[in-house]
Amino acid sequence: MRKRTLKRSSLRRALTAFWWLTLIFLYLPLAVVVLFSFNASNSAASMTGLSLRWYHQLLGNEQIMAAFGNTLILALCSSVIALVIGCLIGYGMYRHRHRKLGWLIVLIYLPIVLPDIVFGISEMAFFVQFHRLTGLLQPGLGTMVIAHVTFQIPFVALIVYSRFVGLDPTLFEAAKDLYATPAKRVVHFMLPTIKPALISAFFLSFTLSVDDFVISFFTAGPESATLPIYIWGAIKKGVSPEINAIATLMIGAVAMAAAISLLFNRKRQS
């Protein structure tokens, strides 16, 4: 018996060590980016001292500021559109879940399972040809919003759908008795009950949009570079230390989002 616990504890120690090694593996590349963003020299191989010069340069760089604006506009517009459309489709899926809606499920999963690159190039090919034929939909922020909404809809729909499934079905009957018109039911019953789902769907859509590179890259026009596209271009042209600074800011935003989600989790638990 004693031997067994000994063996157990040594296994446990090995696992703990492995866990910390994996964490180092996961955070090392991000840490390096953050560290070099404060580097005094523009060497990518050695730290020579601390400075904020790359952050100062960032503020003066019009291209980066434009890319930042584009990223926000794109994420905001696409998330709002996807929220409305995805919410409707999620409710439709719930209300009519007893019908045979196999085709709809396939349609909704399609944007999720399609490889990014296939998604991106088919949209690009489509938009280019459409523009040649009609003169509409010139590649730019507009086409990017369309593409982003396409991959956001399924996530919104699935989140809203699962929220409805989790509700007591008799609630709907009660709401029917309580509020006379469908419009009142929507405003006073449905929207308030699915509010948490709507909030998390909006944030997920927003994050997916900011996080996306491949699909944006192929649907963008010359004037509509987002931050990831700008960073990609800068890397390809030859590494400039400013990238570290802008990347650090984006990592900071993610860290903040993680902290917020942790707080929410805590609150729900207690």
Partner 1 sequence: MLQTSQTASRRHAVVSETRHLLFTVTPGAAWIIVFLVLPSVYLMAVAFMTNGPYGLPQLPLSLNSFEQLAGVGFLGWSPGNLYTLLRSLWQTIVATGLVVLVAYPIAYYITTCRARWRPIMLLLVVVPSWTNQVIRTFGWMNLLAPGTPLSNLAEILGLISPNMGLYPSNFAVTLGLVYNFLPFMVLPLYAAFEKLDTAQVEAAQDLYAKPVRAFWNAVFPQTLPGLLAGVVLVAIPAFGMYVIPELLGGGKAMMLGNLVATQFSGGSNWPLGAAGAILMLIATFIGLFAMRRIGKRLGGGEEVVI
Residues 221-250 that bind partner 1 (CB under 8 A): 227-228, 231-232, 235, 239, 243, 247, 250
What minimum distance in Å lies between the beta carbon of 68 and partner 1?
Answer: 13
Are residues 156 and 86 in contact, defined by beta-carbon separation less than 8 angstroms?
yes
What minimum distance in Å lies between the beta carbon of 168 and partner 1?
Answer: 21
Are residues 71 and 227 in contact, defined by beta-carbon separation less than 8 angstroms?
yes
Q: Which is nearer to partner 1, 29 or 60 (CB)?
A: 29
Rounded Cα–Cα distance for residues 52 and 114 (Å): 42
Look up tokens 């929207």; give the residue. 191
The SS3 assignment for 226 reads coil
Sign of CA dihedral 118, 120, 124, 130: positive
Counting residues that bind partner 1 (by CB under 8 A) gives 78
Q: Which is nearer to partner 1, 108 or 194 (CB)?
A: 108
Task: Report the chain's terminal Cα–Cα distance, integer Å.
Answer: 39
Rounded Cα–Cα distance for residues 232 and 212 (Å): 12
What minimum distance in Å lies between the beta carbon of 16 and partner 1?
Answer: 7
The SS3 assignment for 39 reads strand
Span 151-170, contacts to partner 1 by CB under 8 A? 153, 157-158
Span 30-89, contacts to partner 1 by CB under 8 A? 30, 32-33, 36, 44-45, 85-86, 88-89
10 Å CB burial of residue 66 (0-12, 13-18, 19+) is middle
Span 167-206, contacts to partner 1 by CB under 8 A? none
Q: Which is nearer to partner 1, 191 or 255 (CB)?
A: 255
* Cα 51 to chain centroid, rounded: 31
- Both structure tokens of 241: 């230390």
Q: Which is nearer to partner 1, 73 or 137 (CB)?
A: 137
Q: Which is nearer to partner 1, 76 or 257 (CB)?
A: 257
Q: Does 99 sit near partner 1 (CB under 8 A)? A: yes
Residue from the set 6, 9, 13, 18 that interacts with partner 1 by CB under 8 A = 18
What minimum distance in Å lies between the beta carbon of 257 and partner 1?
Answer: 7
